Structure 1
Amino acid sequence: MKVETVNGKNVGAGITLGSNGETSDMILYADRFSLFNRNNATAVPVMVAEGNELYIDTARIKNSSLTSTKIADGSITNAKIGNEIRSNDFVDGSRGWRIAKDGSSQFNNVIVRGAVYATDGWFQVRYMRTTSRATSGHLRSTSLSTARARCRRLHGQWFELARFPAAEFRPGINIRGGLLQTDSITIDGGAKLRAGMSYAPGADGGLNPGYLSYAMLLRGTGATSGGGSMELALSLCMKQVEQHAC
Structure 2
Amino acid sequence: MLITFLYLVWSLVPVLVAVLFSFNDGRSRTNWQGFSMRWYYGDPLRSVWHDASLHTALTHTLLLGLLATAITVPLGVAMALGLDRWRGRVPSGADVVVLISFVLPEILIAVSLLFVVTVVSTPVGLGTSGQVIGLVTYQLAYPVVIVRARLLTIGSDYEEAAVDLGASPGGAVRRVLMRMLVPAIFASAVLVFADVIDDFVIVRYLSGDSSTEPVSVKVYNTARAAPTPALNALTTLLLLASVLAVVGGYLLYRWFTRGEKEAGRLDVFTGEA
Query: What TM-score bracket applies, with the shorter chain setting the length?
Result: under 0.3
The structure whose residues are more often helix, as a share, is 2
What TM-score, normalized by structure 1, do the two folds share? 0.16
Over alpha carbons, which structure has the higher Rg? 1
TM-score of the superposed pair, with normalisation by structure 2: 0.15
